[in-house]
Amino acid sequence: MQRSFLSFSLLLLMLLGGLNAARASSLGPNTLMKDTIVVRLPNQATLTLVVRDAAQLRQMKNYHLDSLTWRLAGYIAQAELAAKNASTDQVTMQFYPDKDQPGKNLPEQIRITTRKKTPSNNRVDVLLNKTFGVVVTTDKDGSKSYNTASDGKSKEERQAHRDSTRLKNIERKHTSSNLIFDLGLNAFVNQKQYLSPTGQPEAVDLRTEGSRYVNLGWDWDTRLGGKHSPVSITVGPQFAFNNFMLSGNNKWVSANGRTDVVHEADSRQLQKTKLATSSINLPLMLRLQLRDSHYKETFTIGAGGFMGYRIKSWTKLKYTNEGTVYKDKEDGSYNMENFLYGLQGTIGYGDIEFFAKYNMNQLFKTNAGPDTQVLSFGIRLFGN
């Protein structure tokens, strides 16, 4: 081990002596890009040195690496012995050379992490001053490699890199687009009693779990204000599908310019009876997106309105008659309103977002069906 660290010491001195021949990248105060030097040795060992800039590399010569290497050999021997006798697979030890021998330009702290030897690998991590990291790996053939790359970065540096990347993405994206998919339920609201074909006042009762709402769309989100503004405006086409399934043995019937709910008079038992519509809508919403100190999305809320047009409507019946299951489908307008408008909003936290959509228009034309409006609500599965 001592011969290996002596070679390591000589190699670092060679790098320091030839520093003027190396080119350093021009780095801004907030960037986390690194300069890299890779040296391959005849004994298959590889040394990778990663620093922020050339000035940081020049500081290495202050450590008197010729004597530091021998000191590291002693520290590693202690750490390997501790790992061998430990009950865990990994042991971390910390040493403070500068406190032990002040005035000799020794590192303030050396942290060594050792792992128990296995037939295929033996790895030792050495961290100097929480900045320069050295990873010594011995493979099953006895070849050693020295690496001071990402393992030398502190937790704070890694977090700063992630924060910087997120912030750059936020500043760069003035406009973004998302495919959205909503899944929810429909309910009748503000419903008034109406007279059935028999002259009896009635109200429509929906089967909740069968009255489903599905919405598929594409949203364009444009930021309002400065590059760090949390406010944006959202617009984009959406295709919605509404199911209105009746409870009980009732069915939708369109006759004589009206659409009514009629109780099934025959002996057949209705298993499913629903009125379904498809529409295209264009929402316009204001959106507020808050973020935490690491620029991760947290609380979000959006509110606005929409306009749309009914594309198609149809009814479906599923029933059993004398032991045979039948499914009937019939297309038609069912006296429903063609032009749609209303309010909608979203609210969420992180990756979870909910929506609500309120149709201010009546579902059916005046005096041509039940007097009611539609409320749709549910969860946005993706696109937030």
309 CA to centre of own chain: 33
The structure's pTM equals 0.60
Q: Is 199's pLDDT higher than 60?
A: yes
Q: Is 302's pLDDT higher than 50?
A: yes
Centre a 10 Å sphere on the Cβ of residue 98 and count the other Cβ atoms it contains.
16
Q: Please state, in angstroms and rounded to a whole number, the distance separating the CA atoms of residues 69 and 5.
A: 6
> Strands 144-148, 46-51: parallel, antiparallel or unpaired by DSSP?
parallel
Question: Under a CB-based contact definition with an 8 Å cutoff, are residues 25 and 53 in contact?
Answer: yes
Question: Under a CB-based contact definition with an 8 Å cutoff, are residues 207 and 245 in contact?
Answer: yes
Q: Please state, in angstroms and rounded to a whole number, the distance separating the CA atoms of residues 215 and 209.
A: 17
Please report the domains of the chain, with CATH numbers, ordered by start residue. 2-155 (no CATH), 173-382 (2.40.160)
**Tens of pLDDT along 17-68?**
443 333 333 334 444 455 666 666 666 666 666 666 666 666 666 656 566 6
For position 315, what pLDDT does the model report? 95
> What SS3 class is residue 147?
strand
334: confidence class by pLDDT, cuts 50, 70, 90: very high
